[in-house]
A and B are shown apart, each in its own frame.
Chain A
């Protein structure tokens, strides 16, 4: 009986994950690839992200992963160690930003907007960290992020 319950539970979870994969798999793979720049590593991370979701004891967390914003957070958490080994996005040294040159939308931003967006989107840095690095107020950094986001959404064909 226990095995049957376990089996049904696994099947339901698997169907749910399959739904998430069908809906967001290519976006997630694209995002991870942008960070790691290697198809094989990106695939391994994609598998690990889904493992992380499958391991969630609380069903509500799996439900949340159906929303892209939360799913991306799962990916960011999984990529945290990888990202910490990378150079932060800098306004002076554009190599880190250039790393994401595949993302055409980034080229529409000015260097400061690129830095803030790149740090937040790919490096999961907090506004507080970026503001103190740029020696500016958190409000100003948030506004820069808002402008960058607005340009990105306009360039993205909205």
Chain B
């Protein structure tokens, strides 16, 4: 018991919690932790203290940080799924069952109702929107011009009818 107390007081626990214990010390400590409740309790306390010390220095990250993390994780997921496709092209390839097979497709329902597209598409959408407005402008212009011309034509017709000798 005295030896265990000495061990706890030696500073090895602090070194472990702060990540500076050697491999041998770590192995020994983890072994003793399972054997002695005192070691386990002391370690848990130190872990909480370490967290409290960090809490004293905490700074709230900028609001956009999480979305940056999320984007990077999605990027990793995308690249790892591409790797899967490259490395194991045949494992999941659908083999049509000739006996059963009317359908050539497997129905898969996506878990998300959203879809992701390349950022380039926003310029395409913007161009389509602007072109749409331009064509609408032309359509209105030609419609009004056409209407004006029709009115003029009608006036000319009536003038011609009036001038024509009876």
Q: Which residues of A contact B (CB under 8 A)?
A: 1-4, 6-8, 10-11, 13-14, 17-18, 21, 25-31, 33-34, 39, 43, 46-47, 50-51, 54-55, 67-69, 72-73, 76, 102-105, 120-121, 124-128, 139, 141-146, 149, 152-153, 156-158
Contacts and interface: CB of A to CB of B under 8 A. Distances in A.
A50 B73 contact: yes
B153 interface: no
A14 B50 contact: no
Contact of B11 (A2, A11, A142): A142
Contacts, number: 159
B20 A124 contact: yes
Main secondary structure of the interface of B (DSSP, over half): helix
Contact of B65 (A46, A104, A124, A152): A46
Pairs A-B, 8 closest by C-beta atoms: A142-B11, A146-B11, A26-B58, A27-B54, A10-B77, A29-B61, A30-B59, A30-B57
Contacts of A144: 11
Interface in B86-107: 92, 106
Given A10-B73, A26-B58, A1 B92 contact: yes
Contacts of B92: 1-2
A141 B77 CA distance: 44
A120 B15 contact: yes
A21 B69 contact: yes
Interface of B: 9-12, 14-15, 17-22, 46-47, 49-62, 65-66, 68-70, 72-74, 76-77, 80-81, 84, 92, 106, 108-112
Contacts of A28: 54
